[in-house]
């Protein structure tokens, strides 16, 4: 027995020793020494599915692929706005549906071959080909005929050889945009600017299903010829070796932001055609980015080394990036503390550690993320088919208390995340003011939408429930059909804690105890999608690009992704008007109206905007807590002089000017800014 | 004996196929797919994916293709990790698990057998009580507790060993110790019990009466019978250790097979799940066979007809 107590004493002693060596009094958490070599050791999350930039959909892959591949544009390291990359400058047609990119002539692949506009044409066509079956293909659906090509559709040709036009048969709310005067006149440009052709499914089975839904088309298609949409028909054109033109279905100002996405980064045709599926193996791979693949040991490490052939190699600071694919939060925190890694990916600091970690002000990054957390209602089933009940449930949650409880979140009552789209938020504020007046809602009442138990009780009463008032404006709803409602979430510690917190809120404020259910992730997703859940389910959404559209489009169309069963013509019309608007200000106005209208129907309960929640050592510079935690790696560098290390990173790191970063940015932006100036002067 | 071995080897094949079939059915019944994600795919994209991977064929056709491939020893390509074959993944990640597993196994045997024998020889002594108490502790502390404690002590407190990841010899210490602890403890207790029983039996008394020295009695006669319970425990245990232990691999970020196995289930990566299941079931049955054979050598009373 004596030995045991001695052993436990030893363990306790060591534990307290290890705590005291890392805690208060120390400026940094754990070992803080820059690596000897010019290398960044980064925890990148799950093992990448593939190193083919057009295949994976996750953020962990995105970060690795951003190092390996370059696109027309790159993300601005702080704002994620597009900055020149292989395209040194670009212009947009007056109607906003065409882009011309002027490529730099010194860009080349990792094998030294030049990158031309034809490589981009190949990349875009490949990404959309049905055979590749890329999950991300929908990102390119804004390109004219891209969706039709990816979905295996066909044009319809009549006996005289004329193609039927969309506007004569289908009311999609989409207009035709003609920008034939933009850039050089070519045969393809004339074709792509002609009024949109009608497209229908080509495969027999799908065509039959389509005709069932659209019986009037059966007559139309009689003795017409179906001509499959080919890769060559999509709105991507190489005007010459170094000029690329894109044609969109509608003015989509956000499309430029989207082009920095890995899906649009350029791939090497010969390598892919030669090696097929195995082209991404280290012995075969040819890449286009600032770094190239050196070592890939799955689940262990992926090492990318600086690519000397890269057009901007002189501005690439790191010699090497080591990506460690792991997801265990405690393990990565251990590695970080032991000084074996220099930075983590987002949402990695475990909740119980937050109070401690927050003290390390030079290392912990807490910035809003382009991600919303919300709950969905199944509005197809009782009692959630009643908008008053939905509103009551939304109002009975104290968002501020929830955000405080979560520690890494900001309260959210709208659907677009807070603090991510400042320009949109300005417009929205103005629009909401008008809309509130129209709807007869006082500003005071509106500001209480983050938590308003009184109104919640009132709404429940209006919905016909027996409500007994209690103190502090709370109440107890007597005859709520508990058996018909539950709150379902996908299994995780955090989701459970949040669900329990909200369950307690409803109990406190409405006297309703909603039963909780949890499910494994892949079981949960189809369950929610098919509206098999009763009552309420958890959801989260990460923006694909820096525009409110990426959030609001969730509710667009009859088969939308909201998993609520909500679909509304008026909302769709507002979205259509927004997305055919060329004036950005007016476009935001329509989007704000759409957002307001949707939330008045409350198919979802917005809960919080997530925070970035990650750490980096103070000597890692040029790496910013941008809304997507997507780092343009060429700006990242290791600072060896402790006097220049990052301090108080949560104060205003995004506004601080780092001469190293600013100089690189200025040089990159110059081509585009000069070009714009010249154009304005003309 | 030979007949016995051949018969057992032949049984492995249909059993493994049965295991694979049941697993395949279970995966098919599980909701969700390898491409299911937060972002719903447009129907056309989902259709493209299903066509690409042959998921649009009727289920019996898919089953026959799968079984046919497995009989040929080809588990196909992973659905999640494009361009990587299942065989290649198993082949690549097995060595990590096996290295840690074998080292932990050897450590557990060395520590467990020594303490077990010593405890049995000095029954009811201070040594016996302490070692058995520690063994009890080893059995009751799960590795997901032991691992982090060791990390806090040696990696974050004293900064003498790396806290995780694959690398040099120093990276092996913590995971191997963590993994072996529970096995060492079991082996120690089993050895002690087995030895105590044997040491009291008649043939040991006879051996001693013949005037053999104590070491010969112990090693040639007592140990052989005494470790039979240990053998029946460590045979399957070795199979588990070789094939990877999920928890330890997760804690120490070791790219082993256990880690991959769990991930493949979460990913609904059907070919990879089937490949690993088939591989594991064959491995376990094989080790059980070896255990059964070794009984015959260890205990002259056991004979196979």
| Residue-wise pLDDT tens digits, A414-439 | 999 988 999 999 999 999 999 999 98
- What is the pLDDT confidence band of residue A4, given thresholds at 50, 70 and 90? very low
User: CB of B124 within 8 Å of any CB in chain A?
Assistant: no
Whether the predicted pLDDT of B273 surpasses 90? yes
Closest CA to B91 of B254, B288, B261, B257: B257
The tens digit of pLDDT for each residue in A44-54 reads 999 999 999 99
What is the overall mean pLDDT for chain A?
Answer: 91
Q: Flag if B255 and A57 touch (Cβ within 8 Å).
A: no
Query: How far is the alpha carbon of B52 from chain A, nearest alpha carbon, in Å?
Result: 7
- How far is Cα A617 from Cα A40, in angstroms, rounded to an integer? 10
Please list the residues that pair with A541 across neighbouring strands: A372
On whether both A251 and A274 belong to a single domain, the answer is no
* Confidence at A17, pLDDT banded by 50, 70, 90: very low
Interface test with A, best of B38, B51, B137, B138 (most A CBs within 10 A): B38
Q: Given an 8 Å threshold on Cβ–Cβ distance, is B163 in contact with A299?
A: no
Parallel, antiparallel or unpaired: strands A153-157 and A225-228: antiparallel
Same domain, A77 and A61: no
Is residue A347 located within the same domain as residue A401?
no
A504 within some domain:
yes
Are A411 and A505 within 8 A, CB to CB? no
Residue A146 C-beta-side C-alpha neighbours within 13 Å: 25
Q: Is the pLDDT of residue A20 over 50?
A: no
C-alpha A70: how far from chain center: 19
Is A52 within 8 Å of B82 when comparing Cβ atoms? yes
Greater model confidence, A679 or A512: A512
Return the CATH number at A105: 3.90.76.10
Chain A from 214 to 253: CB within 8 A of any B CB: none
- What torsion, rounded to 10 degrees, do the Cα atoms B215, B216, B217, B222 define? 90
pLDDT of residue A156: 95
Residue A9 domain flag: no
Runs of H (alpha helix) within A449-548: 453-462, 493-510, 521-529
- Give dist(CA B206, CA A228) in Å, integer: 92
CB contact under 8 A, B266 and A522: yes
Q: Are residues A492 and A518 in the same domain?
A: yes
CA B36 vs. chain centroid, Å, equals: 31
Q: Give the mutation candidate from B34, B78, B80, B82 for the A interface (greatest A CB count, under 10 A).
A: B82
Q: Is residue A540 in a domain?
A: yes
- Report whether A599 contacts A414 (CB < 8 A): yes
Task: Give CA–CA dist A252/A256, Å, rounded.
Answer: 8
Query: Given a cut of 60, is residue A2 above it in pLDDT?
Result: no
Pure H helices in A28-98: 59-68
Asked whether A612 and A625 are in contact (CB, 8 A), the reply is: yes
A272 with A148, same domain: the answer is no
In chain B, the N- to C-terminal Cα span, in Å, equals 6
Q: Kindly determine whether residue A133 and residue B48, on different chains, have CB atoms separated by under 8 Å.
A: yes
CB contact, 8 Å: A282 with chain B? no
Nearest CA in chain B to A527: B31
Contact A150, B48 (CB under 8 A): yes
A10 band by pLDDT with thresholds 50, 70 and 90: very low
Q: What is the pLDDT of residue A670?
A: 93
Which is more confident, B304 or A283?
Answer: A283
Domain count across chain A:
3
Q: Is residue A154 part of a domain?
A: yes
- Is A278 in the B-facing interface, judged by CB distances under 8 Å? yes
A12: in domain: no
Same domain, A575 and A653: no
Q: Which domain holds residue A40?
A: 34-69+268-365+616-680
Say whether both A630 and A511 belong to one domain.
no
pLDDT more than 90, % of chain A: 77
Q: Is A241 exposed, middle or buried (0-12, 13-18, 19+ CB in 10 A)?
A: middle
B263 vs A contacts (CB less than 8 Å) = 46-47
Query: Which of A232, A229, A55 lies closest to A132, judged by CA?
Result: A55
Mean pLDDT to the nearest integer, B143-168: 90
The residue out of A245, A264, A283 marking a domain boundary is A264
pLDDT at A595: 96
Cα Rg, chain A, nearest whole Å: 27
Nearest by CB to B44, from A30, A152, A280: name it: A152
CB contact under 8 A, A49 and B82: yes
- Looking at the complex, report in whole angstroms how far the Cα of residue B33 sits from the nearest Cα belonging to chain A: 7
% of chain A surpassing 70 pLDDT:
96
Q: Is A585 helix (H, G, I), strand (E, B) or coil?
A: helix
pLDDT the model gives residue A216: 87
* Model pLDDT, residue A680: 83
Phi-psi region of A440 (alpha: psi -120 to 50; beta: other; left: phi over 0): left
Lowest mean pLDDT among A19-23, A562-566, A579-583, B229-233: A19-23
Which of A571, A590, A610 is the endpoint of a domain? A610
More confident residue, A131 or A558: A131
Higher pLDDT: B36 or B187? It is B187
pLDDT at A18: 43
Residue B44's closest chain A neighbor by CA?
A151
Fold of B93-262: MetI-like fold (1.10.3720)
Based on the fold, state whether residues A130 and A59 are members of the same structural domain.
Answer: no
What are A377-394's pLDDT values in tens digits?
999 998 999 999 999 999
Better-predicted residue by pLDDT, A4 or A428? A428
Nearest CA-CA distance, residue A152 and chain B, Å: 8
pLDDT category at B303 given cuts 50, 70, 90 is: low
d(CA B204, CA A502): 70
Per-residue confidence band for B305, with pLDDT thresholds at 50, 70 and 90: low
Is A51 domain-assigned? yes
Q: Do A580 and A633 fall within a single domain?
A: no
Q: Is residue A189 part of a domain?
A: yes
Find how far residue B292's CA is from the centre of its chain: 17
Of A419-428, B83-92, B128-137, B211-220, which gets the smallest average pLDDT? B211-220
DSSP annotation of A380 reads T
pLDDT at B217: 86
In-domain check, residue A1: no
Work out whether strand A320-324 and strand A39-43 pair parallel, antiparallel, or are unpaired. Answer: parallel
Residue B130 confidence (pLDDT): 92
Is the confidence at residue A250, as pLDDT, over 70?
A: yes
Q: CB–CB of A564/A604 below 8 Å?
A: yes
pLDDT of residue A14: 42
- Answer yes or no: do A358 and A376 share one domain: no
Give the end of a domain, one of A248, A264, A280.
A264
Confidence band of A505 (pLDDT split at 50, 70, 90) = very high
Residues 339-398 of A with CB under 8 A from B: 340
Cβ of residue A193 closer than 8 Å to a chain B Cβ:
no
Q: Is the ipTM of this complex over 0.90?
A: no
| Per-residue model confidence as pLDDT tens digits over A202-214 | 998 889 998 998 8
On the question of pLDDT at A502 being above 60, the answer is yes
- pLDDT at B241 (0 to 100): 83
The residue that leads in pLDDT, B47 or A19, is B47
**Facing residue for B152 by CB, picked from A3, A18, A335:** A18
Say which residue, A384 or A681, is predicted with more confidence: A384
Nearest residue of chain A to residue B82 (CA atoms) = A50
Is the distance from CB of A477 to CB of A512 less than 8 angstroms? Answer: yes
Our CA-based measurement puts residue A554 at a distance from the nearest CA of chain B, in whole angstroms, of 10
Same domain, A109 and A187: yes
Tens digits of per-residue pLDDT, A59-117? 999 999 999 999 999 999 999 999 999 999 999 999 889 999 999 999 999 999 999 99
Cβ-Cβ contacts under 8 Å, A338 against chain B: 155-156, 159, 162-163
CATH classification at residue A433: 3.10.105.10
Cβ-Cβ contacts under 8 Å, A324 against chain B: 165, 253
Q: Which of A72-86, A237-251, A577-591 has the lowest mean pLDDT?
A: A577-591
Using a CB-CB distance cutoff of 8 angstroms, which residues of chain B are in contact with residue A11?
149, 153
Quote the minimal CA–CA distance from A269 to chain B in Å: 17
Q: What is the pLDDT of residues B234-262, one digit of tens each?
A: 887 888 787 768 889 999 999 999 889 98
Same domain, A604 and A620: no
Q: Is the peptide bond before A383 cis (omega within 30 degrees of 0)?
A: yes
The SS3 of residue A476 is strand
Which residues of chain A make contact with B165, given a CB cutoff of 8 A? 300-301, 324, 335, 340
Of the candidates B42, B157, B159, the beta carbon closest to that of A14 is on B157
Q: What is the mean pLDDT of residues A516-541?
A: 92
| Range with top average pLDDT, A198-212, A466-480, A624-638, B27-41 | A624-638
């Amino acid at each position: 027995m004596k030995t045991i107590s001695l052993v436990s004493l030893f363990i306790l002693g060591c534990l307290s020793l290890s705590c005291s060596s890392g805690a208060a009094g120390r400026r940094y958490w754990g070992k803080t020494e820059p690596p000897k070599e010019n290398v960044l050791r980064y925890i990148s999350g799950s093992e990448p599915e593939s190193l083919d930039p057009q295949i994976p959909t996750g953020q962990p892959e995105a970060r690795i692929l951003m190092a390996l591949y370059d696109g027309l544009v790159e993300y601005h390291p702080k704002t994620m706005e597009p900055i020149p990359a292989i395209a040194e400058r670009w212009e947009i047609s007056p109607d906003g549906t065409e882009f011309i990119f002027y490529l730099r002539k010194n860009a080349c692949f990792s094998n030294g071959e030049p990158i031309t506009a034809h490589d981009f044409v190949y990349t875009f066509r490949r990404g959309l080909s049905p055979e590749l079956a890329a999950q991300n293909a929908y990102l390119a659906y804004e390109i004219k005929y891209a969706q039709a090509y990816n979905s295996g559709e066909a044009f319809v040709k009549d006996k005289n050889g004329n193609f039927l036009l969309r506007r004569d048969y289908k009311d999609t709310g989409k207009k035709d945009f003609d920008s034939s005067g933009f850039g050089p006149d070519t045969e393809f440009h004339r074709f792509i600017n002609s009024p949109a052709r009608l497209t229908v499914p080509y495969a027999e089975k799908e065509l039959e299903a389509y005709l069932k839904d659209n019986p009037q088309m059966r007559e139309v298609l009689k003795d017409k010829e179906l001509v499959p949409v080919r890769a060559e028909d999509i709105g991507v054109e190489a005007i010459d070796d170094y000029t690329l033109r894109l044609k969109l279905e509608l003015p989509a100002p956000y499309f430029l932001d989207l082009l920095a996405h890995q899906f649009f980064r350029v791939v090497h045709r010969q390598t892919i055609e030669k090696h097929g599926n195995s082209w991404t193996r280290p012995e075969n791979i040819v890449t286009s980015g600032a770094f190239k693949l050196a070592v890939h040991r799955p689940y262990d490490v992926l090492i990318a080394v600086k690519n000397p052939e890269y057009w901007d190699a002189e501005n690439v600071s790191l010699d090497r990036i080591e990506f460690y694919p792991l997801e265990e939060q405690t393990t990565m925190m251990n590695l970080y503390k032991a000084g074996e890694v220099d930075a983590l990916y987002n949402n990695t600091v475990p909740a119980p550690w937050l109070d401690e970690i927050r003290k390390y002000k030079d290392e912990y990054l807490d910035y809003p993320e382009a991600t919303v957390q919300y709950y969905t209602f199944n509005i197809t089933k009782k009692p959630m088919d009643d908008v008053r009940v939905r509103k009551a449930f939304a109002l009975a949650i104290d968002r501020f208390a929830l955000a405080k409880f979560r520690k890494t979140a900001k309260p959210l009552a709208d659907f677009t995340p807070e603090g991510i789209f400042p320009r949109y938020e300005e417009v929205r504020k103005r629009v909401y003011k008008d809309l509130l007046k129209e709807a007869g809602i006082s500003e005071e009442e509106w500001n209480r939408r983050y938590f308003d138990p009184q109104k919640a009780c009132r709404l429940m009463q209006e919905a016909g429930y027996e409500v007994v008032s209690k103190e502090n404006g709370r109440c107890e709803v007597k005859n709520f059909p508990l058996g018909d409602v539950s709150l379902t979430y996908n299994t995780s510690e955090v989701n459970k804690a949040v669900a329990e917190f909200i369950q307690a809120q409803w109990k406190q404020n409405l006297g309703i105890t909603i039963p909780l259910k949890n499910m494994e992730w892949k079981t949960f997703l189809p369950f929610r999608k098919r509206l098999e859940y009763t009552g309420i389910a958890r959801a989260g959404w990460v923006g694909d690009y820096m525009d409110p559209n990426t959030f609001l489009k969730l509710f667009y169309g009859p088969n939308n992704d909201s998993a609520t069963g909500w679909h509304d013509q008026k909302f769709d019309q507002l979205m259509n008007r927004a997305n055919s608007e060329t004036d950005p200000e007016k476009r935001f106005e329509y989007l704000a109206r759409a957002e307001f209208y949707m939330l008045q129907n409350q198919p979802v309960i917005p809960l919080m905007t997530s925070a970035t929640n990650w750490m980096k050592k103070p000597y890692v510079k040029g790496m910013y807590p941008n809304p997507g935690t997507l780092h343009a790696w060429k700006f990242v560098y290791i600072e060896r002089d402790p006097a220049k290390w990052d301090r108080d990173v949560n104060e205003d790191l995004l506004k601080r000017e780092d001469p190293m970063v600013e100089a690189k940015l200025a040089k990159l932006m110059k081509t585009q800014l000069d070009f714009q100036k010249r154009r304005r002067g003309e | 004996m030979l007949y016995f071995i051949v018969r057992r080897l032949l049984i492995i094949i249909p059993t493994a196929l049965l295991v694979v079939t049941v697993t395949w059915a279970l995966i098919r019944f599980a909701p969700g797919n390898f491409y299911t994600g937060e972002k719903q795919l447009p129907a056309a994209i989902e259709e493209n994916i299903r066509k690409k991977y042959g998921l649009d064929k009727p289920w019996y056709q898919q089953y026959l293709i799968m079984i046919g491939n497995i009989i040929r020893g080809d588990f196909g390509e992973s659905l999640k990790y494009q361009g990587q074959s299942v065989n290649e993944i198993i082949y690549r990640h097995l060595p990590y698990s096996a290295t840690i597993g074998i080292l932990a196994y050897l450590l557990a045997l060395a520590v467990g057998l020594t303490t077990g024998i010593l405890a049995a020889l000095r029954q009811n002594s201070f040594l016996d009580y302490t070692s058995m108490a520690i063994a009890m502790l080893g059995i009751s502390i799960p590795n997901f507790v032991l691992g982090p404690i060791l990390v806090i002590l040696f990696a974050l407190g004293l900064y003498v060993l790396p806290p995780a990841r694959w690398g040099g010899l120093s990276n092996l210490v913590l995971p191997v110790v963590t993994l072996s602890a529970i096995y060492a403890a079991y082996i120690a207790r089993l050895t002690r019990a087995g030895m105590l029983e044997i040491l009291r039996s008649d043939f040991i008394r006879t051996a001693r009466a013949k005037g053999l020295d104590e070491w010969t009695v112990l090693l040639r006669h007592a140990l052989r019978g005494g470790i039979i319970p240990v053998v029946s425990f460590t045979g399957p245990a070795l199979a588990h250790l070789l094939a990877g232990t999920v928890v330890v691999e997760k804690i120490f970020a070791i790219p082993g097979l256990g880690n991959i196995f769990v991930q493949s289930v979460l990913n609904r990566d059907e070919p990879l799940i089937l490949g690993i299941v088939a591989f594991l079931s064959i491995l376990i049955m094989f080790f059980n066979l070896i255990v059964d054979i070794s009984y015959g050598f260890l205990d002259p009373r056991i004979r196979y007809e």
